Amino acid sequence: MQRPSCALARSRRADRSGPRDATRALPESVKAFFWYDGSMDGLLCALSRALRAGGSATIAEFTRDSEGLLLSPEEGERVVPDPAEAEAFLENVRQRLGPRWVQRVLRLGCAADPARDGLLRELYALAWTRGPEVEHWHAHPAVRAALRLERRVSLETHRFRGLLRFRRLATGRLWGPMEPDHDVTPLVAPFFRQRFDSERWLIHDVRRGYGIGGDPPAGECRLWTAAEIEAELAAGLDVSEQAWQAL
């Protein structure tokens, strides 16, 4: 399976001062606790830095609830999401561990589980030092838990690829609302990008309040905000769709 073209679609605006070297060792002065903003780019950058820092380096998403943690954001490094650094890290993963491990980090990055960040860090720290064969260490608690979580994300992705129903809006766009347990929209979207190559379409994660959609002829996926989705839905369903709903 190729890397989803929309996997980084939710990334927030990053510092464009220049790409960072994903393989360069961090200076000793950098604290080994990395906060990120919840975006995929931020997660990949934080994981990259934790692996370079080594030891017991930790990653965590900074949220409004983070003040209740034992470590405050001031006790670590606040990671600015950088698409270039994230891409460099994924390429480093591909070279060191193989393409399957690129897909794995993207799937796990979409998981909605409080243990996700710790499992990601421990799994990839093991693979970084012991090689890709650690995926067969099913007796290892972190490996077993991470692979189970990846499996759940993968199953939900396939389920929505097969069962997601689209409705025609009055604007002509195909609208597919869904409420997945995991944040699988970036993994589902590339499938429909190929399927609807001549259509205007939008996958709407109702639970998280965002979407990913595409427009021909370019067909590139882009992030839709809640406000944009609300404006698109304001016109209502297409007349033929309304007639179908009335049956």
Burial of 113 (0-12, 13-18, 19+ CB in 10 A): middle
Those residues whose C-beta lies under 8 Å from the C-beta of residue 180, and which sit 6 or more positions away, are 156, 160, 205, 207
Using the predicted structure, report yes or no on whether residue 197 has a pLDDT greater than 70. yes
Q: Which amino acid is at 71?
A: L
Whether residue 132 has a cis bond before it, omega within 30° of 0: no
Using the predicted structure, report yes or no on whether residue 68 has a pLDDT greater than 60. no
Using the predicted structure, report yes or no on whether residue 189 has a pLDDT greater than 70. yes
Q: What is the DSSP letter of 6?
A: T
Q: Percentage of the chain with pLDDT > 90?
A: 64
Question: What value does the mean pLDDT take over residues 190-209?
Answer: 93
Q: Do 50 and 121 meet the contact criterion of CB atoms below 8 Å apart?
A: yes
Using the predicted structure, report yes or no on whether residue 41 has a pLDDT greater than 80. yes
Q: Determine the 3-state secondary structure of 108 from DSSP.
A: helix
Taking alpha carbons only, the member of 137, 183, 131, 134 closest to residue 160 is 183
β-bridge partners, 178? 205
Question: What value does the mean pLDDT take over residues 187-209?
Answer: 93
Q: Do 214 and 26 meet the contact criterion of CB atoms below 8 Å apart?
A: no
∠ CA 200-205-209, rounded to 5°? 110
Count CB atoms within 10 A of the CB of residue 242: 13
Burial of 158 (0-12, 13-18, 19+ CB in 10 A): middle
Q: Do 52 and 79 meet the contact criterion of CB atoms below 8 Å apart?
A: no
Most confident of 3-12, 19-28, 33-42, 216-225: 33-42
Sign of the torsion angle spanned by Cα atoms 130, 133, 139, 144 = positive
Using the predicted structure, report yes or no on whether residue 151 has a pLDDT greater than 80. yes
User: What's the alpha-carbon Rg for the chain, to the nearest Å?
Assistant: 20
Instruction: Give the HSE-up count for residue 54: Cα atoms under 13 Å, Cβ half-sphere.
Output: 8
Q: Do 214 and 175 meet the contact criterion of CB atoms below 8 Å apart?
A: no
Those residues whose C-beta lies under 8 Å from the C-beta of residue 161, and which sit 6 or more positions away, are 188, 191, 192
Q: How confident is the model at residue 31 (pLDDT cuts 50, 70, 90)?
A: low
Q: Do 36 and 66 meet the contact criterion of CB atoms below 8 Å apart?
A: no
Q: How confident is the model at residue 76 (pLDDT cuts 50, 70, 90)?
A: confident
- Tens of pLDDT, residue by residue over 108-131, are 999 999 999 999 999 999 999 999
Using the predicted structure, report yes or no on whether residue 1 has a pLDDT greater than 70. no
Q: Determine the 3-state secondary structure of 84 from DSSP.
A: helix
Q: Which amino acid is at 151?
A: R
